[in-house]
């Protein structure tokens, strides 16, 4: 039995508690700022409004404070949204925590000072002095995981022994883990698939969407190579696996369908998805300054058109 702390009470963080608990671990979850999730998790019934189910009673909830990070845990899991990464980085800075940290958050950050795109593990390490960071990515819808549908994910760490140790603590018969040393490739794939799933969702027929899927994979392969990741990763769980799931049934794909019907992003967001967090939007706003300036425009026409649709609120072009 290991003592696991999960930071982030949203759908994915809360769903992740289920395989952790089923693997006979002691699990504590905390939520820094979302009042709705704090209310869900602190209640006796632990009914999660996003997952639409009751979480296990043995799940322990604690109010977030910096003191909780100094408690003795065997594994710390970060499941915040992309904007929350800098928040938790500041909280962790200089604490010199040696506890292994696992990142569930998907996304990339733009380092304006050095004019480069950085992965979440790189940001936490270089900007906030956080060490021993692994990342977990793959085709995982939170609601399906919470209902114990078979789910395959990949854990990445340059020290593969650490990745396998984490896998041992969280794996179950339905939550299956693979392992990789390609942190950069895994992080790039899992982030940009949010943009490409929006593009695929914009197709108004299966024929159109399948063609967009193929073109998206070509662009993703180019970007992985550009950022020095292993191009083989595109064909794994964090690449085409995650892209398929997101394009088939995620919020990014849903937004893409409205863009494909001719709505501008702002109109679609206000009219249809006002309460929803669209991860592709967060990523687009984060990386657009770099992509517009640094990447060969001829190699990523789909991404450029999607970024313009979000940043400049233009109608999406798929050609």
User: What is the DSSP pairing of strand 3-7 with strand 75-78?
Assistant: parallel
- Span 170-187, pLDDT tens digits: 999 999 999 999 999 999
DSSP 8-state code for residue 115: T
Q: Are 14 and 167 in contact (CB under 8 A)?
A: no
**pTM, 2 dp:** 0.92
23 three-state secondary structure? coil
Determine the Cα angle at 239 with ends 112 and 101, to 5°: 60
Name the stretches of the chain with pLDDT < 70.
Answer: none
All domains in the chain, ordered by first residue? 3-183 (3.40.50.720), 192-311 (1.10.1040.10)
DSSP readout, 132-146?
Answer: SEEEEESS--HHHHH
Looking at residue 51, its pLDDT comes to 95
Among 93, 83, 17, 84, which residue's Cα sits nearest to residue 56?
17
Query: Residue 3 forms beta bridges with which residues?
Result: 26
């Amino acid at each position: 039995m290991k003592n696991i702390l999960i930071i982030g009470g949203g759908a994915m963080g809360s769903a992740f508690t289920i395989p952790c608990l089923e693997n006979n671990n002691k699990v504590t979850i905390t939520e820094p700022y979302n009042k709705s999730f704090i209310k869900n998790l602190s209640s006796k019934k632990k009914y999660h409004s996003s997952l639409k189910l009751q979480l296990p009673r043995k799940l322990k909830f604690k109010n977030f404070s910096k003191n909780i990070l100094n408690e003795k845990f065997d594994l710390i899991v970060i499941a915040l949204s992309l904007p929350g990464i800098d928040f938790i980085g500041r909280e962790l800075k200089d604490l010199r925590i040696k506890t292994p940290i696992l990142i569930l958050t998907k996304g990339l950050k733009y380092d304006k000072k050095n004019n480069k795109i950085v992965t979440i593990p790189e940001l936490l390490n270089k900007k906030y002095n956080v060490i021993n960071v692994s990342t977990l990515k793959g085709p995982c819808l939170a609601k399906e995981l919470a209902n114990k549908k078979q789910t395959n994910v990949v854990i990445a760490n340059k020290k593969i022994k650490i990745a396998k140790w984490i896998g041992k603590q969280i794996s179950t018969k339905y939550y299956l883990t693979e392992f990789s040393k390609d942190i950069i490739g895994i992080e790039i794939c899992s982030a940009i698939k949010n943009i490409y799933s929006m593009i695929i969702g914009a197709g108004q027929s299966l024929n159109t969407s399948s063609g967009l899927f193929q073109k998206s994979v070509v662009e993703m392969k180019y970007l992985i190579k550009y950022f020095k990741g292993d191009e083989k990763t595109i064909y794994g769980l964090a690449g085409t696996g995650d892209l398929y799931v997101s394009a088939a049934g995620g919020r990014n794909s849903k937004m893409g369908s409205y863009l494909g019907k001719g709505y501008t992003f702002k109109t679609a967001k206000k009219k249809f998805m006002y309460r929803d967090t669209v991860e592709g939007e967060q990523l687009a706003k984060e990386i657009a300054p770099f992509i517009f300036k640094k990447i060969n425009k001829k190699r990523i026409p789909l991404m450029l058109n999607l970024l313009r649709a979000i940043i400049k609120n233009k109608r999406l072009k798929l050609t």
